[in-house]
C-alpha cells in the first residue's frame, strides 16, 4: 500500500517538445455565447491562459441554431474587436477564431450551404446534445468525413449517452474521429463519472487533443491547478496534436 502511494507521488517528467502552446477550444469572444460576457472578461482569461504557457489561441464560439445562431461575420467582428483591445493593452498573443458546431437537424440540413469555420484548413470542431445521442449522429459524421472534414469531437467524455458503456467510445474512435478531452474533466469538475470516462480514455490512449473549453475565469484558474498534476504530465506524454493545429 505504501509503495502504491510512493509510486503515485513520483513526478513525471515532460519533454519540452510535448508541451502544449496552442489552445483551440474556448469561448472567449464577448457576448455571443455562454462564454465571456465582456471584453474585460475576455482579456482576464487570455492573460491567465498566457501565464499557463499558451501562446496561440483558436477560440471557438458555439454555433447552435436554437441558442447561439452565430455566423462567420458575427464571430469575425468580435474577433477583430478583441484583437484591437489586446493590441491597445500591448498583450502579445496570437489569436484567431473558428467555431464549435452543435450537431442538430438544422446543421444537417444546412451545412453544405454554409461556409464552415474550420481549424487549420479542414478540422471541424463539433459537439452534440449531452443527454441524448442524436439519431443522425453516425450519418452526419460520415457525411462530413466524406466531404473532406477532419472531425474533432469536443469532450467525448461529457456525453451521458456514452457513459453507461465505455466500449461505445471505440466505435467513433475507430472511424478516425479525433477525440478532444476537456482538461477540467480530469479534475472531477463536471462530475465523478465524467472524470472516470476521461481517465478511461487516457489509460487507453484514446485522446488526440485537449482543450480548455473555458467560458469563465473560474475554469481557467482550475485548469492552472490541474497543470501541476501527474495526470496532466501523463496526458502530455501521449504526444497530443494540439500544436499541429496552428
Ligand atoms: Fe465548448
Domain residue limits, the chain? 19-245
pLDDT at position 22: 98
pLDDT at position 13: 77
pLDDT at position 9: 57
- What's the CATH code, domain 19-245? 3.20.20.140
**Per-residue model confidence as pLDDT tens digits over 213-234:** 999 999 999 999 999 999 999 9
Give the span between the Cα atoms of 70 and 61, in whole angstroms.
8
pLDDT band of 12, cuts 50, 70, 90: confident
In this predicted structure, the answer to whether residue 144 has a pLDDT above a threshold of 90 is: yes
Given a contact cutoff of 8 angstroms between Cβ atoms, the answer to whether 22 and 212 are in contact is no
Kindly give the distance from the C-alpha atom of residue 101 to the centroid of ligand 1, in angstroms, as a whole number. Answer: 9
**Per-residue model confidence as pLDDT tens digits over 155-178:** 999 999 999 999 999 999 999 999
Kindly give the distance from the C-alpha atom of residue 118 to the centroid of ligand 1, in angstroms, as a whole number. Answer: 14
Q: In this structure, what C-alpha cell is assigned to residue 10? A: 513520483
pLDDT at position 1: 46
Kindly give the distance from the C-alpha atom of residue 65 to the centroid of ligand 1, in angstroms, as a whole number. Answer: 15
Kindly give the distance from the C-alpha atom of residue 151 to the centroid of ligand 1, in angstroms, as a whole number. Answer: 15
Mean per-residue pLDDT of the chain = 95
pLDDT at position 128: 98
Kindly give the distance from the C-alpha atom of residue 182 to the centroid of ligand 1, in angstroms, as a whole number. Answer: 9
| In the chain, % of residues over pLDDT 70 | 96
What are the CA-CA distances from residue 1 to residues 5, 12, 150, 203 (Å)?
A: 7, 20, 45, 21
What are the CA-CA distances from residue 172 to residues 141, 167, 197, 231 (Å)?
A: 9, 10, 15, 24
pLDDT at position 14: 78
**Per-residue model confidence as pLDDT tens digits over 65-111:** 999 999 999 999 999 999 999 999 999 999 999 999 999 999 999 99
pLDDT at position 8: 54
> For residue 109, how far is the Cα from the chain centroid?
25
Closest by Cα among 60, 40, 173 to 120: 60
Kindly give the distance from the C-alpha atom of residue 237 to the centroid of ligand 1, in angstroms, as a whole number. Answer: 24
> What number is the average pLDDT over the span 182-197?
97
Given a contact cutoff of 8 angstroms between Cβ atoms, the answer to whether 124 and 150 are in contact is yes
pLDDT at position 10: 67
Amino acid at each position: 500500500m505504501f509503495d502504491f502511494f510512493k509510486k503515485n507521488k513520483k513526478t513525471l517528467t515532460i519533454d519540452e517538445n510535448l508541451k502544449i502552446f496552442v489552445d483551440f477550444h474556448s469561448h472567449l469572444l464577448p457576448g455571443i455565447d455562454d462564454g465571456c460576457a465582456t471584453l474585460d472578461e475576455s482579456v482576464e482569461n487570455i492573460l491567465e491562459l498566457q501565464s499557463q504557457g499558451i501562446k496561440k489561441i483558436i477560440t471557438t464560439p458555439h454555433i447552435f441554431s436554437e441558442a447561439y445562431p452565430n455566423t462567420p461575420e458575427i464571430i469575425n467582428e468580435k474577433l477583430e474587436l478583441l484583437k484591437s483591445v489586446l493590441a491597445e493593452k500591448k498583450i502579445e498573443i496570437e489569436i484567431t477564431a473558428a467555431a464549435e458546431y452543435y450537431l442538430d437537424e438544422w446543421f444537417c440540413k444546412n451545412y453544405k450551404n454554409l461556409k464552415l469555420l474550420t481549424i487549420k484548413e479542414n478540422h471541424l470542431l463539433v459537439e452534440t446534445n449531452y443527454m441524448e445521442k442524436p439519431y443522425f449522429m453516425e450519418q452526419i459524421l460520415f457525411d462530413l468525413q466524406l466531404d473532406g472534414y477532419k472531425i474533432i469531437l469536443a469532450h467525448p467524455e461529457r456525453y451521458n449517452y456514452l457513459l453507461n458503456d465505455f466500449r461505445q467510445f471505440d466505435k467513433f474512435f475507430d472511424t478516425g474521429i479525433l477525440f478532444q478531452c476537456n482538461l477540467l474533466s480530469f479534475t472531477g469538475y463536471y462530475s465523478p463519472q465524467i472524470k472516470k470516462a476521461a481517465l478511461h480514455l487516457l489509460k487507453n490512449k484514446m485522446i488526440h487533443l485537449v482543450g480548455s473549453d473555458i467560458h469563465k475565469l473560474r475554469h481557467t484558474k482550475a485548469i492552472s491547478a490541474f497543470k501541476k498534476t501527474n495526470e496532466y504530465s501523463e496526458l502530455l506524454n501521449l504526444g497530443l496534436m494540439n500544436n499541429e493545429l496552428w
